[in-house]
Amino acid sequence: MDTPHKTQITPTPTSSLSKFEDSPVFKYIDSLSPIEQAKSSQTDNAFNSLAFLSPSSLFPSPQINCHRESRFSVKRHHFSADLNTRVLQSSNESNASQEASKAAGQSGLYDEHPGCLSNDGSSKGISSDLFDKQSDLAVELPGTSKYDCRSPDDNLEACDALLKKTSLEVVEQERSPFQRSRDEWKERQRSFENERDLRKIRRIKPSEEAAGCGWVAVVSDVADMLTVNTSIIHENSDGQDQRTVDSGTTSFISNIPEFSLDNANNLENAESGDHQGSCKQNELGDSVTDQTSCILSTCLPDKPVVTDSSLKKDDKGEKCSQLSRQRSIRRRCLVFEKSPGFGLHLNSLPNILKGQNPPNKSILSSMKMGEVPSDNGTVVIESSCEAPASIGGTDADHNTPEKKRQKFELVEESASCKRCNCKRSKCLKLYCDCFAAGLYCIEPCSCLDCFNKPIHEKMVLETRKQIESRNPQAFAPKVIRSTDSVLDTWGENNKTPASARHKRGCNCRKSSCLKKYCECFQAGVGCSPSCRCEGCKNSFGRKDGCDESGSDGEGLEACEKNASDKNSHDIVTHKNAEEHRDLPVPSNISRLPLAYSGKFTGSFPHSIRSSSQLCNTPEHGSSESSLCQSKFNSNLQAIPEDETPKVLKHKCLPLILKTNSPPNSKRVSPPHHECSSSTAQRSRKLILKSIPSFPSFCPP
DNA sequence: GAGTTTGAAACT
DNA sequence: CAGTTTCAAACTC
């Protein structure tokens, strides 16, 4: 780093020093310090150090973060203060910051080399360039004697010697105000380091790391910090790992929504390198994972994230396996902060069936119920076959560790399920499931030349905007739960589970709407008049009105009886639709598509529900879940609402709900496998009524 | 796993 | 808006 001094100052150390001492600035500083002239070099060093810092560096202004994440800027301080007070006091603290400094120093890359931070140097780099500069400068300070000396004369050795000499003298003296301020500055810089490291977590990209930017070290530092965070996690006195993240941690977590999967993986990898073999993977692993999951769930701001207690395992062995599973959830979701309404989109339910037949228990158990606000603003209460029972269930049922664990697994799956194999679209078109779902591609994806990654955030956002400009509904849920009025329009006979319908309808010509080529079928909904399909035989409901779902077989005879085949579905009519109304129907929640490009976001409070919260409806016995499994496989019809399309495709069920974002492309509604299976009585139709908790998304 | 089919998305 | 092309998932072998 060249400094002005370098060019302005004469080459000889002596002359430069003397000139410095003669300078007005030096005199001024000197006048402020009781240090005698003889120790001016010390002062000089200090001066040089600080001289390179802009006032804003010392006194960061809020605008530092103004580019992005106002949330962050607000909460950051919280975290900073919290973390710093805890971290800085810990014995590890110095290591973390020192290593961070070291890493930065070794790489020699600061923000003057934005490339190391963000490949595009724009989207992310821009947002926090200022901050990074400040913090980077701060990082340099601690070990900057050499650096400082370099400015005037580039004679490092001379400066070192001088510094040593003067420092020895100064140590004995009363610290000057200037020194005190310097100490304060150092402290502040540590704070910055911490924050900067945290921010860097978000921006590190694998390629950059590979480029030797030393990010591994930084990540490692971050890991340390995250580990420290675990201290914030409280454990039950009984030793059970019932942890909860305190508000501070939560804030922090929510402040780094862009914690990328890659980063997380790197972090994890780096860590596992050291501790591999031991499932101990420690707290860092847990911490990171927990936080990551929190991040996922906290893509919705302003709500505390309660990590599911299931995350904590009783035994380490389980922890290990869990960690490996958790790896899969470390997926960064698109957070379109700049575009109101965008957000984490977990709506796109992953393929539930694919590769998982029958769905595992965890999934099934998690599909208990949920509510989904549909586009039209109605809230669809998702119910499972067990819904009725669950309603009368007890909290105890779902609070068991096992239940929690299942829920967590579900979250993992939901977050990691989506994947694509795009080869030409660069994952920036709706062809890409991940992109369409508002998710970044992750490791499991087999895409080529993928641009749908956090490092290309800007491009992703732009592309998204472009697509939306063409079709504002492009990212809106394709399948919506119809309102009663709409249902009327569609006709009684044509109601599919939950009266859901594909918004645009399908256009099938050869598949007879009996294969997943058909979006309606894939979504588990019947075809509607809006479909232009030919020879529709959609087992969920034909567009001509023939509907197998015909309660209790009424329409079965009239229609082709596919009921017997795997695609036949018993639509369970919920006799007690009213019961659903009694369920805790959060006005702001449910399985909303987490990424929604709509403009309705504003109408929804930012709120997050933890998976446990989401599933706070009494859960049903696993036995029932089992009963439903087989059924579920073949019919996802019970999936009430809006979108289920991807439910069929992926085996993930999102438990993470983001309410404030209205439906994004693929909204996920937990598949409600109806458990009508086991008994005749269960074949009753489940009629899911919408609950007008929300203002209508769609203007009349 | 490779090739084919299919229909949505994108383009003209 | 319709026709065509592109694309990736679904499907088949």
pLDDT in tens, A150-201: 333 344 444 444 444 444 444 444 444 445 555 555 555 554 454 444 334 3
Supply A77's token pair: 């301080």
Distance CA A421, CA A415 (A): 17
Distance CA A584, CA A395 (A): 13
This model's pTM is above 0.95: no
Distance CA A119, CA A440 (A): 16
Q: Does A165 map to a domain? A: yes
3-state secondary structure of A448: coil
Q: Which residues of A144-176 are buried (b: 16+ CB within 10 A; e: fewer)?
A: bbebbbbbbbebeebbeebbeebeeebeeeeeb
Q: Does A599 map to a domain? A: no
Q: A310 and A406 in contact (C-beta within 8 Å)?
A: yes
Measured in Å, how far apart are chain A's first and last C-alpha atoms?
A: 61
CA distances from A461 to A46, A455, A698 (A): 44, 11, 24
Q: What is the mean pLDDT of chain A?
A: 46
Residues A187 and A245 in one domain: no
Closest nt to residue A646, judged CA to C1'? C9
Residue identified by tokens 């942890």 is A243
Instruction: Kindly report the length of chain A.
Output: 700
Mean pLDDT, residues A587-604? 33
Question: How many of the other CB atoms lie within 10 Å of CB of A210?
Answer: 10
Q: A468 and A457 in contact (C-beta within 8 Å)?
A: no
Closest nt to residue A426, judged CA to C1'? C7
Distance CA A5, CA A7 (A): 5
Distance CA A174, CA A177 (A): 9
A354 C-beta less than 7 Å away from strand B: no
Distance CA A644, CA A649 (A): 9
Residues A239 and A198 in one domain: no
The band of A26, judged by pLDDT with boundaries at 50, 70 and 90, is low
Q: What is the pLDDT of residues A311-334, one digit of tens each?
A: 333 344 444 444 444 444 445 555
Closest nt to residue A645, judged CA to C1'? C9
Taking the CA of residue A421 and the C1' sugar atom of nucleotide B1, their distance in angstroms comes to 15
Closest nt to residue A351, judged CA to C1'? C9
Cα radius of gyration rounded to whole Å, chain A: 29
Give me the pLDDT at residue A27, please. 64
**Amino acid in position A587:** S
Taking the CA of residue A430 and the C1' sugar atom of nucleotide B9, their distance in angstroms comes to 7
Q: A632 and A597 in contact (C-beta within 8 Å)?
A: no
Residues A120 and A238 in one domain: no
DSSP state of A594: S
Residues 427-466 of A with CB under 7 A from strand B: 429-431, 436
Taking the CA of residue A342 and the C1' sugar atom of nucleotide B7, their distance in angstroms comes to 28
Residues A189 and A295 in one domain: no
Those nucleotides of strand C lying less than 7 Å from any protein Cβ are 6-11
A527 C-beta less than 7 Å away from strand B: no
Q: A220 and A104 in contact (C-beta within 8 Å)?
A: no
A468 C-beta less than 7 Å away from strand B: no
Closest nt to residue A522, judged CA to C1'? C10
Structural domain range at position A306: 232-327
Q: Which of A276, A301, A327 is the last residue of a domain?
A: A327
**Listed residue (A515, A434, A524, A511) closest to A479, CA to CA:** A524
Those nucleotides of strand B lying less than 7 Å from any protein Cβ are 5-10
Closest nt to residue A420, judged CA to C1'? C8
Q: Does A440 map to a domain? A: no
Supply A459's token pair: 């491009």
Closest nt to residue A511, judged CA to C1'? B6
Residue A427, pLDDT > 50, answer yes
Supply A112's token pair: 């003057």
Residue A212 region by backbone torsions, left for phi larger than 0, else alpha for psi between -120 and 50, else beta = left
Taking the CA of residue A511 and the C1' sugar atom of nucleotide C12, their distance in angstroms comes to 14
Closest nt to residue A429, judged CA to C1'? B9
Give me the pLDDT at residue A499, please. 62
* Most confidently modeled range among A110-114, A425-429, A595-599: A425-429
Give me the pLDDT at residue A428, please. 92
Supply A674's token pair: 């109806």
Question: Strands A479-481 and A379-383, how do they pair?
Answer: unpaired
Residues A90 and A186 in one domain: yes
Give me the pLDDT at residue A422, please. 92
Judging by beta carbons within 10 Å of its beta carbon (0-12, 13-18, 19+), is residue A625 exposed, middle or buried? Answer: buried
Residues A67 and A205 in one domain: yes
Top pLDDT among A484 and A590 is at A484
Taking the CA of residue A432 and the C1' sugar atom of nucleotide C4, their distance in angstroms comes to 21
Taking the CA of residue A485 and the C1' sugar atom of nucleotide B5, their distance in angstroms comes to 37
Judging by beta carbons within 10 Å of its beta carbon (0-12, 13-18, 19+), is residue A115 exposed, middle or buried? Answer: middle
Q: Does A148 map to a domain? A: yes
Residues A189 and A294 in one domain: no
Supply A182's token pair: 């310097």
**Amino acid in position A103:** A
Taking the CA of residue A344 and the C1' sugar atom of nucleotide C2, their distance in angstroms comes to 36
Q: What is the DSSP track for A178-243?
A: HHHHHHHHHHHHHHHHHHHHHHHHHH--HHHHHTT-SHHHHHHHHHHHHHHHHTTSB--TTS----
Give me the pLDDT at residue A256, please. 35
3-state secondary structure of A409: helix
Q: Which of A303, A327, A351 is the last residue of a domain?
A: A327
Q: Does A311 map to a domain? A: yes
Q: Does A81 map to a domain? A: yes
The band of A230, judged by pLDDT with boundaries at 50, 70 and 90, is very low
Q: What is the pLDDT of residues A463-519, one digit of tens each?
A: 988 898 888 888 887 777 655 444 444 554 444 554 677 778 899 999 999 999 998
Residues A71 and A182 in one domain: yes
* Most confidently modeled range among A157-166, A262-271, A686-695: A157-166
Closest nt to residue A445, judged CA to C1'? C8
Taking the CA of residue A646 and the C1' sugar atom of nucleotide C6, their distance in angstroms comes to 22
Residues A182 and A69 in one domain: yes
Taking the CA of residue A105 and the C1' sugar atom of nucleotide C9, their distance in angstroms comes to 48
Footprint of strand C on the protein (CB under 7 A): A 351, 354, 420-427, 429, 431-433, 447, 515-517, 522, 648-649
Residue A262, pLDDT > 80, answer no
Residues A41 and A109 in one domain: yes
Taking the CA of residue A429 and the C1' sugar atom of nucleotide C6, their distance in angstroms comes to 11
**Listed residue (A464, A425, A406) closest to A619, CA to CA:** A406
Q: Does A22 map to a domain? A: yes
Residues A70 and A101 in one domain: yes
Report how many domains make up chain A. 3
Supply A284's token pair: 């860092």
Q: Does A462 map to a domain? A: no
Q: Which of A181, A211, A241 is the last residue of a domain?
A: A211
Instruction: List the single protein residue with the shortest CA to C1' distance from B10.
Output: A429
* Strands (E) located in A477-585: 479-481, 500-502
Query: How many CA within 13 A on the CB side of residue A38?
Result: 6
Closest nt to residue A425, judged CA to C1'? C7
Instruction: List the single protein residue with the shortest CA to C1' distance from C7.
Output: A431
Taking the CA of residue A657 and the C1' sugar atom of nucleotide B6, their distance in angstroms comes to 33
Residues A198 and A148 in one domain: yes
Distance CA A155, CA A247 (A): 49
Give me the pLDDT at residue A430, please. 92
Top pLDDT among A44 and A402 is at A402
